[in-house]
Structure 1
Amino acid sequence: MNMNNNDILIRLRYALDIKNADMVEIFKLGGIEVTKEEVLKMLIKSKDSYHNEVDSDGDINEDNIECNNFTLESFLNGLIIFKRGKQDSKPGQPERPAISIKNNGSVNNVLLKKLKIALALTSEDMLDILGKAGVVITKGELSALFRKEGHKNYVECGDRYARNFLKGLALKYRE
């Protein structure tokens, strides 16, 4: 059961209880102009979002707008600014952060890293959130998910961790 970027957006919006108008604002802060209608189309759960957005007739769900890696990462960057305020870029620093999602394998790692920043979470907070969803990992296993891709201790974050982290967030923020 693979999670796609639209699933991540849907789960994140639910977990943090983000209003549609705020979704538009967050995308804008992340450098992407979208309308409320476009946001709603990204939040459409396809009939079976685990099988290539194809419904029983073999047609692709026309109303659904696919959230690609760039769009998702822009949203996460916007969420950081939305939650923590805009930081002035230092001289010689690029205006926008470099895109860190290099491939579909690193989406979940970047998701966890950026949520950690946006929500000002400590490693203990993150372990606690995973624990709420019934996932117990060590601090070492968690830090391996935050390593730079290519680092000898880097571990790709599987959908199970990402899905359970979003589930844990919903339990934490919507109690």
Structure 2
Amino acid sequence: MSHPAFMDTRHCAREGERRESLFRRWVARPVLDQLRQGTSPGRLAASIAAGTVCSVLPFIGLTTLFNLVVAAVARLNQPIMQVLNQLLTPVQLVLILVYVRIGERLWGAHPLSFSVSDVVSTFREASLSEFFARFGMAGLHALTAWTITAPVVFGVVWFATAPLLRRFAVRGLEGKASS
């Protein structure tokens, strides 16, 4: 039996390196990759535009997952999209009613009397089938309007942010070159 003080330290060092490399491989590297992903001016503009569009999806509780999936599939900047998601929550709540009304006009439907707080309370208190019976068509109307406006919103936000981000990138490179 050997005393811990006389153990071979090479084994411990290799075990620590293995543990560190597993940590690096499965935790640190994916997090850093997400932070670095989509950091060119064009990709940042796309992240801001997609994050804006995804964050105003007219369904409460789905935008975080929607941003996550879109950012992963399109290899956009995840942190930017999730921050926008949080910042745009008040805008999303206001736009739900706007999207429902636009969708009602597009579908030729009679306006439904409801508020966002009414939707939330019904979702909490009623069964899922009751909720969909009452608000299902409103959801379809809102989704229709969002789907039609999403490309326009994406384009406006992208064309507004891309030139600014390119200008900032050039200034940043000029500043690095002069120092």
State whether TM-score is above 0.5.
Answer: no
Structure index of larger Rg: 2
The structure whose residues are more often helix, as a share, is: 2
TM-score (norm 2): 0.29
TM-score (norm 1): 0.30
